[in-house]
């Protein structure tokens, strides 16, 4: 029997959409070129931090705050279905000022966020170090964001994969979709090297590899890889909150690992981890939390964020009937997975995205701007 929907791409976006559609009673097949959740969704730091990362970046900020509010229930629900806990942690984030400019920026940010009813507390250097003792004694002050949290994204991907299996989603892995199949102005399925799989609707959730696939139905959307390099250290340092400086973030995991990230580089699909990136990340991390200097380096890696010309996602119905797009989540795809999944479910089942998602449609690129490659 043909599925109601084929989802292309088994990252957090494709898997979260599969979850919501399967829960709504649709028969879903998900096709993944490699293994589920091994690309950007594996490489990420798992921060759910719209207040520290997207402030002033409307319209991303609004959906980031909305999606963050869904996260505890999202991870609880997944744990109940899959039996796998994805370590949602609600300790908040501390931004540390290391320069006078940072203090000014924190003051502006806290005023703006407080005015929106969000908690953003300007704190002295002493108070910042009381909240997160691993922060440097050289701190000039801090901004405490008690509602910016984190999740262990690799465990979240395992939890999602197990939940999809429980919900009878058909997983076709190690299979690359080479073309979206269309009849007239209607998507009818996908083709994998000539083999046709038909379905009632098709959803493209292929992260930074989306442009080529969409070009097979004549769409000219720019989604490019923005490489992020990271490393992990371990040992001798107790830390419970995400720490940010203007140069780096540091994310403690429950197993004792401390993640340090990340670069944003436009280097094509090169998977190199470079000495220069590791050097600058480590230097910035030690400046922020000096005890990191004595830790052991346990892992170095990189991943490709899917970036768009305005650094915002592209979500919703495509120009072809029965074709939907969910890509371009750039630096916030972990955070934005629940809201994206709910919205695409609405579009597939009820024919319309929620109004607050309208701004992320593909049509905004119809008069194409040259890409500004900065975060």
Using the minimum distance from each CB to ligand FAD, give the nearer residue, 74 or 330: 330
Cis amide linkage into residue 59, ω under 30° from 0: yes
Question: What is the number of the residue whose Cβ is closest to ligand GLY?
Answer: 331
The tokens describing 150, both together, are 């984190």
Q: How far is the CB of 125 from ligand FAD (least distance, A)?
A: 26
Residue 171 binding partner per list ligand GLY, ligand FAD, none, with a CB distance cut-off of 5 to 8 Å that depends on partner kind: none
Using the minimum distance from each CB to ligand GLY, give the nearer residue, 286 or 302: 302
Q: How far is the CB of 362 from ligand GLY (least distance, A)?
A: 23
Radius of gyration in angstroms for the set of CA atoms belonging to the chain, rounded to a whole number: 21
Cα separation, 59 vs 131, in Å, equals 31
Residue 214 binding partner per list ligand FAD, ligand GLY, none, with a CB distance cut-off of 5 to 8 Å that depends on partner kind: none
Q: How far is the CB of 304 from ligand GLY (least distance, A)?
A: 11
Chain contacts with ligand GLY (rule: CB under 6 A): 45, 47, 53, 228, 261-262, 305, 331
Using the minimum distance from each CB to ligand FAD, give the nearer residue, 94 or 122: 94
Residue 329 binding partner per list ligand GLY, ligand FAD, none, with a CB distance cut-off of 5 to 8 Å that depends on partner kind: ligand FAD
- The residues facing 258 across adjacent strands are 233, 252
Using the minimum distance from each CB to ligand FAD, give the nearer residue, 176 or 287: 176
Using the minimum distance from each CB to ligand GLY, give the nearer residue, 143 or 250: 250
The tokens describing 304, both together, are 């490709």
Buried b (16+ CB within 10 A) or exposed e, 58-83: eebbebbbbbbebbeebbebbbebbe
Name the phi and psi angles at 58, rounded to 5: -70, 145
Q: How far is the CB of 265 from ligand FAD (least distance, A)?
A: 10
Using the minimum distance from each CB to ligand GLY, give the nearer residue, 45 or 353: 45
Decide: residue 143, CB within 10 A, 0-12 exposed, 13-18 middle, 19+ buried. buried
Q: How far is the CB of 1 from ligand FAD (least distance, A)?
A: 22
Q: First and final CA of the chain: distance in angstroms? A: 45
Chain contacts with ligand FAD (rule: CB under 6 A): 8-14, 31-34, 38-41, 43-47, 176-177, 205-207, 209, 213, 228, 230, 261-262, 303, 305-306, 327, 329-335
Decide: residue 370, CB within 10 A, 0-12 exposed, 13-18 middle, 19+ buried. exposed
CA of residue 253 relative to chain centroid, distance: 17
């Amino acid at each position: 029997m043909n599925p109601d929907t084929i989802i292309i791409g088994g990252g957090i976006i494709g898997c979260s959409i599969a979850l919501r559609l399967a829960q709504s009673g649709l028969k879903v097949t998900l096709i993944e070129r490699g293994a589920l959740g091994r690309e950007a969704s594996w490489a990420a730091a798992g921060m759910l931090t719209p207040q520290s990362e997207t402030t002033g970046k409307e319209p991303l900020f609004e959906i980031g705050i909305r999606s963050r509010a869904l996260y505890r229930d999202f991870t609880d629900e997944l744990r109940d279905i899959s039996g796998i806990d994805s370590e949602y942690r609600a300790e908040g984030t501390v931004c540390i000022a290391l320069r006078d400019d940072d203090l000014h920026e924190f003051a502006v940010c806290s005023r703006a966020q407080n005015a929106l009813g969000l908690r953003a507390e300007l704190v002295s250097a002493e108070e910042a170090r009381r909240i997160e003792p691993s922060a440097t004694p050289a701190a000039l002050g801090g901004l405490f964001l008690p509602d910016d949290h984190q999740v262990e994204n690799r465990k979240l991907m395992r939890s999602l994969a197990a939940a999809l299996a429980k919900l009878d989603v058909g997983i076709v892995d190690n299979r690359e979709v080479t073309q979206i199949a269309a009849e007239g102005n209607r998507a009818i399925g996908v083709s994998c090297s000539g083999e046709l799989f038909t379905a009632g609707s098709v959803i493209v959730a292929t992260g930074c590899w989306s442009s080529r696939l969409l070009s097979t139905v004549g769409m000219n959307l720019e989604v490019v890889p923005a490489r992020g390099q990271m490393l992990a250290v371990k040992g001798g340092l107790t830390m419970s909150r995400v720490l940010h400086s203007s140069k780096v973030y540091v994310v403690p995991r429950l197993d004792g690992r401390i993640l340090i990230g990340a670069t944003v580089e436009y280097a094509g699909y090169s998977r190199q981890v470079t000495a220069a990136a590791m050097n600058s990340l480590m230097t910035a991390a030690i400046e922020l939390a000096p005890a990191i200097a004595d830790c052991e380096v346990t892992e170095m890696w990189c991943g490709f964020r899917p970036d768009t010309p305005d650094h915002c996602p592209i979500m919703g119905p495509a120009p072809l009937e029965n074709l939907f797009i969910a890509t371009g989540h750039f630096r916030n795809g972990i955070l934005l997975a629940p809201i994206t999944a709910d919205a695409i479910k609405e579009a597939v089942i009820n024919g319309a995205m929620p109004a607050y998602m309208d701004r992320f449609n593909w049509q905004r690129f119809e008069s194409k701007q040259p890409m500004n490659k900065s975060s």
